[in-house]
Amino acid sequence: MGWIAFGVLAFLFFAIALFAWRKWIDPWRDVEELAQAVVEKKPPRKFLISANPHSRRIGLALETLTDRQREIEERLREGESSVQAVFGAMLDGLVVVDDQRRVRMMNRESKHLFGLEKAEPGEPLLEVIRHASIDRLVAEAIRARQPRRESIRISRGPSEGRELEVAAVPLGENSTSTEGAVVLFHDVTQLRQMEEMRREFVANVSHELRTPLSIFRGYLETLLDDPQQPPGELLRILEIMERHSDRLNALVEDVLSLARLESPGAELDLSEVDLVEFLPSIMRDWERKFQAKQLTSRLDLPENLPLIEAEESRLQEVIYNLLDNAVKYSDPGSQISLQASVEGDRVRISVADQGTGIREADLPRIFERFYRADKGRSREQGGTGLGLSIVKHIVQLHGGTVEAESEPGKGTTISVRLPISRGS
């Protein structure tokens, strides 16, 4: 009887222990496993714990927490993706640094400016960009909690010679603490070059105008002081004034032509031009000038030359300017040739002379406004210094290119390439 009672008691104890284990101990192991999975960001085996109300509520709370965590992470990924997309699309360089000037973020344009394949987060800004002036500007912005801006010229690296407008804006500049700064790099090299070109253009035009105006004033004063000049001297004075008047008129016309070509609304009245008829007519117009300087001319055109699409008056201006230069710099008895040929989808038109030629150092600059390779002889010939610049602008408006080849003492060849008409 005693053994039976002991067995019943043992069974009851085991049943109670099993019930307690399943209801109070085992569920908390499941809760611990679930919590560990949430911490490690692993997919939990299950969320629903049904053994007791407390563990069930904790399991449901952990499920809600996991869902919110996933939502937050998704929003963070979307936000980061948007930020990266914006940074990547920026045409200016952008770098984010912390309060110790360590790089936290750098966009693609910044890496391109400073020749970096990659920039590891946490590296000091000075070691990344290797430019003390930029590092100093950022340090000052962070210290003063005020934006700082400065133009800095890059003296080495892939951006050598570029001028950058650098702006450092502190993060949290309106708060009592600063966590770093955003640094913007805007390339203003082209803008500075345009400003310099404008200044040079104004200075050159003023200089070119000063000479004829000074001559006019000088001779007018002479005539006012002594109106009764001998007929021969009076004729000489009037011839000089007429020559400089022509030069002044040519300069004004070239400046106006260049201004029209460079205006944003410049348009062309395009039509199909048959060079087989167009170029011979120009050479006939120039025969008298060739003969006046004892020059021979040669025209070389293939029979099957295709049509080109161009504004005829502008194309005539291009050829006239090239022939005018060739005549000016050719010695009597030499030859000037005009030829055309097909090169792929373009027609090449070349004007060649056997004149003085151009030095290799001057060759890249001859299409600049007012640039003269031989300043003394150019002024003697009466050129405005704008002819080749006008040629370049007209050709570029037509979607073409222009280039020059020369050898001192043997002559110069200037070639323009223009697109063939689509109907050809």
For the chain, give the secondary structure using H, E and C: CHHHHHHHHHHHHHHHHHHHHHHHHHHHHHHHHHHHHHHCCCCCCCCCCCCCHHHHHHHHHHHHHHHHHHHHHHHHHHHHHHHHHHHHHCCCEEEEEECCCEEEEECHHHHHHCCCCCCCCCCEHHHHHCCHHHHHHHHHHHHHCCCEEEEEECCCCCCCCCEEEEEEEECCCCCCCCCEEEEEEEECHHHHHHHHHHHHHHHHHHHHHHHHHHHHHHHHHHHHHCCCCCHHHHHHHHHHHHHHHHHHHHHHHHHHHHHHHHCCCCCCCCEEECHHHHHHHHHHHCHHHHHHCCCEEEEECCCCCCCEEECHHHHHHHHHHHHHHHHHCCCCCCEEEEEEEEECCEEEEEEECCCCCCCCCCHHHCCCCCCCCCHHHHHHHCCCCCHHHHHHHHHHHCCCEEEEEEECCCEEEEEEEEEECCCC
Structure confidence at residue 17 (pLDDT):
45
User: Are the C-beta atoms of residues 260 and 252 closer than 8 Å to each other?
Assistant: no
How many CB atoms are located within 10 Å of the residue 131 CB?
20
Phi and psi at 379, nearest 5°, equal -70, -35
User: Are the C-beta atoms of residues 130 and 157 closer than 8 Å to each other?
Assistant: yes
Distance CA 353, CA 298 (A): 10
Least Cα distance to 321 among 401, 399, 384, 365 occurs for 384
pTM of the entire predicted model: 0.55
**Where are the chain's structural domains?**
22-84, 90-187, 192-262, 271-419
Strand order in the sheet with 346-352: 296-300, 335-343, 346-352, 411-419, 401-407
Mention the CATH class of domain 192-262. mainly alpha
Structure confidence at residue 47 (pLDDT):
45
Structure tokens belonging to residue 391: 């040629």
Amino acid letter, 273: V
Structure confidence at residue 82 (pLDDT):
55
Residue pLDDT, tens place only, 93-143: 888 888 888 888 888 888 888 877 776 778 888 888 888 888 899 889 888
Amino acid letter, 364: P
Distance CA 41, CA 37 (A): 6
User: Are the C-beta atoms of residues 340 and 307 closer than 8 Å to each other?
Assistant: no
Structure confidence at residue 416 (pLDDT):
92
Distance CA 65, CA 191 (A): 55
User: Are the C-beta atoms of residues 244 and 211 closer than 8 Å to each other?
Assistant: yes
Structure confidence at residue 339 (pLDDT):
92
Least Cα distance to 365 among 197, 154, 244, 146 occurs for 197
Distance CA 256, CA 21 (A): 99
Structure confidence at residue 50 (pLDDT):
54
Residue range 90-187, CATH number:
3.30.450.20
- CATH architecture for residues 271-419: 2-Layer Sandwich (3.30)
Average pLDDT per consecutive 10 residues, the chain (424 residues; last block may be shorter): 54 48 50 58 53 57 64 63 59 84 84 76 84 88 88 73 85 62 85 75 72 81 83 84 79 74 73 89 89 90 87 89 88 90 89 85 77 54 70 88 87 90 69
HSE-up (13 A, CA, CB side) for residue 23 = 8
Amino acid letter, 183: V
